[in-house]
Structure 1
Amino acid sequence: MQDKTVLITGANDGIGKATAERLARKGAHLVLACRSETKAQRTADWLVETTGNEHIDTLPLDLADLHSVRAASELFLAEHPRLDVLINNAGVYCGSLELTSQGYELQFGVNHLGHFLLTLNLMPAMQCSKLCSRVINVSSAMHTKGGIDFGNLRGERGEKAYDGTRAYAQSKLANVLFTKELDRRHGSELTTNCLHPGVVGTSLANKKGKLFTKAVWSMYKPFAKTPSRGADTSVYLASSPEVREVSGRYFNPNQCLVKPSPTARNEQLARRLWEYSAAAVHEFLL
């Protein structure tokens, strides 16, 4: 990974931070794209001290605001001529209905739509050749429980009808569908893959989950995978020569190719989601 530029979203905590550490030790030039600039800089300083790799930059990025995604994209392109690996890692879980700055359900907006726009805007830095750049989308086995409710992506059905777990599954399904369609449209220019990291002991469910969810997760978390183990497949997809030409696929926590759900393999649904997403972010495209 020497001289490779890697952008990781949500790199200040959990799997993202663990991924950053592992790739920093491999000599990558890292860009930590995080909502909190303070936390991002703290992580960058820690990585320099821990790994000895001084090529660590930060990038302010709020995936819940498409204005921020566009601004981050412009800043990155102005400072970096090439992007070798984009790891769309950041994620959020909500127990109650919340909306993004543009009015989309928060989990769909952050976990999918913000990353969709970021990826499209950074394409100029990635389109050097198929064997040059890799896009990695961190999904979840929860995608198997999801469907895409196009009539409720802005929370149209209201708080009473909101199911946080169902919305999370929907957003993770969107990650897989996006991977498939990005490969179909741009597979000659880059590779794109997605993964399930396993059940990892992060703070994901503790931040915006309801009290019961927080309590259950707090009891279960000590028995889950460590973030470092959860980063295994992201690091593998970012760095291994074995997957240099593999694209449009879904990997499990053991770095094995597996089939995603039948819904995730629905080409018509993938195209429809792409078209919806493209229309949603149109005014923020570079």
Structure 2
Amino acid sequence: MHGKTVLITGGTAGLGQATAIALARQGASVVITARDEARGRAAVEAINQRANAAPVRLILLDLASFASVRGAAERFLSEHPRLDVLINNAGVFAARLEQTREGFELQFGVNHLGPFLLSHLLLPALEAAPAPRLVNVASRAHYAGRIDFDDLRGEKHPYRGWRAYARSKLANVLFTREWNRRFPGIPANCLHPGTLRTTIGNKHSPWYVSLTWSLVKPFLTSPERGAATVVYLASSSMVAGIGGRYFDPWQRERRPSPLALDDDLARRLWEVSERLMTEGGLMR
């Protein structure tokens, strides 16, 4: 990974930070994103100390705001002529209905629409790299996902946090496959990293959900172990030129859900997402 530039969304803790450390140790020039500058700078310092490699850099990014996504992309493009690997790692789980700045259901917005927009805006930097890769952190939760195009704001039906999370993760797999079809020169793959020992279940959750998550968290997979497949897809020669696949925590290719393999659904999700971005003046 020497000489390669990697952008990882959500690097302040958990899977993102573990991935940043691993890739920095391999010699990559790593850029992480964070919503909060103080937390981001603390994370950069921690990563630099543990990686003992080229300094990791920080860009502020809030995937719940399209304006923030555009600002982050513009800053990256102004500082880096190319992007060898984009890792869409940052995500959210919300037990209650919350919405993004633009009014979309939070999990669909942060886990799908934000990465969709960011990936498109960074396309010039990806195209400038000799062998670019796109890696999307999905989840086995996608097997339970369904896409309701009439309720992208989450207001038409009683809200179920897990159902919305599964939908967003199905969107990750569909996005990966459709990206790979449209941009075969930038292979995209996605993965389930395992059920990790992170704080995802403690945020945006009522006290009883947070408490339950805290009780089971010690028995879950470490972020370092979960990062193995992310690092594999970002760096291994074994997957060079391979795209449109879904991998498990042991770097094995797995068959995703039947809906995730629906080409018409993937195309429709792409077109709907693209229209939302275009109508907002965010994609040209």
1:75-99: CA deviations, max 9, x gaps?
A: 1001000000000000100011001
2:203 counterpart SS class: helix
The equivalent residue for 1:105 is 105
1:33 counterpart SS class: strand
2:234 to 223, 233, 238: 238
Aligned equivalents of 2:208, 2:143: Cα separation in 1: 23
The equivalent residue for 1:33 is 33
2:152 counterpart SS class: coil
Runs of 4+ that moved beyond 3 A: none
The equivalent residue for 1:151 is 150
* 1:218-237 equivalence runs, <5 A: 218-237=214-233
The equivalent residue for 2:256 is 260
The equivalent residue for 2:181 is 184
Is 2:190 the partner of 1:162?
no
Aligned equivalents of 2:47, 2:220: Cα separation in 1: 24
Deviation of 1:285 (Å): 2.1
Aligned equivalents of 2:13, 2:150: Cα separation in 1: 33
The equivalent residue for 1:78 is 78
Aligned equivalents of 2:50, 2:228: Cα separation in 1: 19
Deviation of 1:280 (Å): 1.1
1:237-280: CA deviations, max 9, x gaps?
A: 01101001110000000000110000000000000000110011
Question: How many residues are treated as equivalent by the alignment?
Answer: 282
The equivalent residue for 1:279 is 275
Deviation of 1:217 (Å): 1.2
**Percent of aligned pairs with the same residue?**
50
Whether the aligned pair in 1 keeps the contact of 2:12 and 2:34 (CA below 8 Å) is: yes
Which stretches in structure 1 are left out of the alignment for 5+ residues? none
The equivalent residue for 1:206 is 202
1:99 counterpart SS class: coil
Aligned equivalents of 2:54, 2:65: Cα separation in 1: 30
Whether the aligned pair in 1 keeps the contact of 2:8 and 2:89 (CA below 8 Å) is: yes
Aligned equivalents of 1:267, 1:210: Cα separation in 2: 37
Deviation of 1:281 (Å): 1.3
1:6-46: CA deviations, max 9, x gaps?
A: 00001111100110111111111011111112111111112
Whether the aligned pair in 2 keeps the contact of 1:6 and 1:86 (CA below 8 Å) is: yes
Greater mean alpha carbon deviation, residues 198-207 or residues 210-219: 210-219
What is the root-mean-square deviation of aligned Cα atoms in Å? 1.1
Aligned equivalents of 1:143, 1:51: Cα separation in 2: 33
1:157-197: CA deviations, max 9, x gaps?
A: 16xx000000000000000000000001011x211000000
Deviation of 1:100 (Å): 0.3
- Which TM-score applies when normalising by structure 2? 0.97
Is 2:225 the partner of 1:251?
no
Whether the aligned pair in 2 keeps the contact of 1:83 and 1:133 (CA below 8 Å) is: yes
Is 2:266 the partner of 1:270?
yes
Whether the aligned pair in 1 keeps the contact of 2:83 and 2:128 (CA below 8 Å) is: no
1:86 counterpart SS class: strand
Which stretches in structure 2 are left out of the alignment for 5+ residues? none
- Which TM-score applies when normalising by structure 1? 0.96
Q: Which amino acid aligns with 1:42?
A: A
Deviation of 1:123 (Å): 0.5
The equivalent residue for 1:195 is 191
